[in-house]
Structure 1
Amino acid sequence: MDTCITVWHWPTQERWFDEGIRTSLDLVRHAGFTHINWNPDAGSSYWMADAEIEFTRRIVAEAGLKVHSVHSTNGRNTVSELIGPVPFTFESRKDIRSPHEWQRLSGVELLKNRIDLAAAFGAPNIVLHVDISDDVFRSPESETKFFAPLYRSLDELLPYCLERKVQIAAETLLDASGGSFLKLYDRLFSRYEAAFIGLCYDSGHWELLEPGGLTVLERYGNRLIATHIHDNFGAKDNHLLPFDGRLDWNAITKAIAATDYVTPLNFETPMDRYGVPDAVFYHRAHAVAARLEEMIATARRKIGE
């Protein structure tokens, strides 16, 4: 049974990118996972050199793992990006949504860098944050202002993605209402083909936007290509293992099973939420992942009956 979990960067070793991540990869594989979501440098404007991409591809392959998804970057992530003691040190000079052409083009180049990483892995998609607020849809003028540079960037990325067989998965976030994200997906999916762009369903994020609801899967399940699976109690973005919060996993797995999503599900559950040794966390996470994969398989068998 295929199972997938996010590999995070935990700088507990002096050489965190090679020694540290190799350790994490070994623990993930030993726990029974077959796939990973690559997360180091997600959201940041760090540029990966060709030698880094090749090294990263090699250590994942040597660990006996496959990459189901790469968490890419728009250069604007206030959690993962560099933030210094004064505001101007916040790095957002690469931004696919910028109205300033040099900045927008820099964002396109940065995203191409992560597409190259995904292609080197043989990963089918990259997950992208499209930061949006409810203000975008308050008038036709504000909507045009937001989407014009974004569309230019995506138009330029489309042939690059198709050539490398890497799709973009737009993630459900928390910086706008569920209605605004549904409008975002409506705009993107009506403009671009499924071979280029689809949906990344983030279970914990969507629960905070629409408690107990699954409208995003019901409406756009035909574009579901990536998942960020985690749990919470409905108050904040806890990123817990499934069944440790309040989400209805029976309903969620049935909704996913009704789509053409190619499993495995990807667990986006960082180990720092749990005060246990890394190996213990990954083994527990794998048991939960296997349980959800079986729930998906069972639901699909019933649909086929």
Structure 2
Amino acid sequence: MSTLQLAIATDFAGEFPQIEKINEVLYKISQAGFTHIHWCFEWDGDYIYSSYEMEQIKEWMDQYGLKAKALHASKGSKRNVNLIDGHYRKDYTSDVEYNRKAGVELIKNRVDLAAYMGAKEIVLHL
């Protein structure tokens, strides 16, 4: 018999650069009874997770009994995607090859994070 797996988005209370607050969010999610998360931190920007951060995130998840259902990948540098206003850094849709490759590298970083967390789904906005 399969059971329904519900996940809550980790950015439900906002984005935080402090690791204590990220840890607290995961703790609160577990205390609310959730078993799965949808990792949404840093989805809107060009932040690159280090392997050490990935390890830290996974340790927190294990500590709180959380599993990753999905991850929200980054669309690249912060911008209004509905406006074409020059070229942006780390934009996988860019016609400037260096920017496109940097954007692909950013997505690969999220694929690596998803794999580390055990997430089977990735959301990517075009």
* Equivalent residue number for residue 39 of structure 1: 40
Corresponding position: 1:71 with 2:67: no
Deviation, 1:74, is 2.1
Deviation, 1:54, is 1.2
> TM-score normalized by structure 1?
0.36
Preserved CA contact (<8 Å) 2:15 2:41: no
Identity of aligned residues (%): 36
Unaligned runs of 5+ in 2: none
Higher relative contact order (CA 8 A, sep 6+): 2
Between the aligned partners of 2:74 and 2:121, the Cα distance in structure 1 is 13
Provide Cα deviations, 1:89-140, integer angstroms capped at 9, x if missing partner.
xx9310111111111111111100000000000100211001xxxxxxxxxx
Provide Cα deviations, 1:155-192, integer angstroms capped at 9, x if missing partner.
xxxxxxxxxxxxxxxxxxxxxxxxxxxxxxxxxxxxxx
Q: What letter is aligned with 2:98?
A: W
Between the aligned partners of 2:54 and 2:6, the Cα distance in structure 1 is 24
Corresponding position: 1:2 with 2:16: no
Provide Cα deviations, 1:202-255, integer angstroms capped at 9, x if missing partner.
xxxxxxxxxxxxxxxxxxxxxxxxxxxxxxxxxxxxxxxxxxxxxxxxxxxxxx
Unaligned runs of 5+ in 1: 80-86, 131-305
* Equivalent residue number for residue 54 of structure 2: 53
Structure 1 segments, 4+ long, off by >4 Å, are none
Corresponding position: 1:99 with 2:100: no
Q: Please identify the structure whose Cα radius of gyration is greater.
A: 1
Preserved CA contact (<8 Å) 1:10 1:20: no
Give the direction of change, closer, same or farther, for the CA distance of 1:10–1:42 in structure 2 (3 Å limit): closer
* Equivalent residue number for residue 120 of structure 1: 116
> TM-score normalized by structure 2?
0.83
Deviation, 1:10, is 4.2
